[in-house]
Amino acid sequence: MMIRTEALREIARLRGDALVVAVYSSAFEWLDISPHALNFLAVGAMGQAATNGLGFAIGLPHKHIMVLDGDGSLLMNLGTLVTIAEAAPENLTHFVSENGTYEANGDHPIPGAGRVSFAGFARAAGYRTVAEFDDIEKLRAGLPAFLDSPGPRFATLRLKAGDKPQLDYALVHGEEARKRFAAGLTADMAARGAR
């Protein structure tokens, strides 16, 4: 089984200039692994990471949008899978970290832990490409082809959390994080207009 930080490092290696929507524990780790002005932090909006990602994918069709979701977070809004599949944004990649717990809320087990298939949900909803990874070597080998496949793409990352990240909610909810993202998005749009 993978450690989440290992999996996120593999994703970061292939990120390019993608806009990344990260939620809860993944968000805090992502800030250290891949600092970037186009990190949109969805902490405090459990269940909304994929919905935010869909909005960015529709509004920024030229931009690769990556969503770093959690299994507990996605359970709060499973209907978003059907909405994403219906909209069919080719530029959206949706990763779900599956560790079987509401980690940010005291490590309580999610309903159906170990029984539900998030990849099965995405496949049934109609995502064009669906994958599952539970080993870091398989993720490293399979990630490039997965990211080059037709979108919307969905991957379950079966993992364990590893060391608890520093949960700095003041940082992610603070005005500075929002200003940095807005400035990064403005700069990206200006650069695109200049081409």
Q: Which residue has the tokens 């990763």?
A: 95
CATH number of the domain enclosing 21: 3.40.50.970
pLDDT digits (tens, 9 = 90+) for 106-121: 555 666 667 789 999 9
Taking a C-beta distance cutoff of 8 angstroms, is the pair 94, 80 a contact? no
Average pLDDT over the chain, rounded to an integer: 87
Indicate if the alpha-carbon torsion angle 12, 14, 17, 22 is positive or negative: negative
Q: If you write DSSP's letter for every residue of 155-181 in order, what string do you get? A: EEEEEE--SPPP--HHHHHSHHHHHHH
Q: How confident is the model at residue 137 (pLDDT cuts 50, 70, 90)?
A: very high
The pLDDT, as a whole number, for residue 116 is: 87
pLDDT of 176 over the 90 cut? no
Count of the separate structural domains present in the chain: 1
- Total-model pTM: 0.90
Q: Are strands 129-133 and 108-109 parallel, antiparallel or unpaired?
A: unpaired
Please give the pLDDT value at position 177.
79
Supply the DSSP string of 1-21, one letter for each residue.
Answer: -EEHHHHHHHHHHT-TT-EEE
Q: Three-class SS of residue 127?
A: coil
How far is C-alpha 4 from the geometric centre of its chain's CA atoms?
12
pLDDT band at 45 (very low <50, low <70, confident <90, very high): low
Identify the pLDDT of residue 65.
98
The reported pLDDT for the residue numbered 18 is 97
SS3 35: coil
- The lowest-confidence range among 38-47, 106-115, 173-182 is 106-115
Q: For 56-90, write each residue's pLDDT tens digit.
A: 999 999 999 999 998 888 988 999 999 999 999 99
pLDDT at residue 142 greater than cutoff 90:
yes
- pLDDT value, residue 11: 97
Q: What is the pLDDT of residues 6-20, one digit of tens each?
A: 999 999 999 999 999
What range defines the domain where residue 118 resides? 2-194
Mean pLDDT of 171-187: 83
What pLDDT score does 165 carry?
61
What's residue 109's pLDDT? 63
**Strand pairing report for 19-22 and 39-41:** parallel
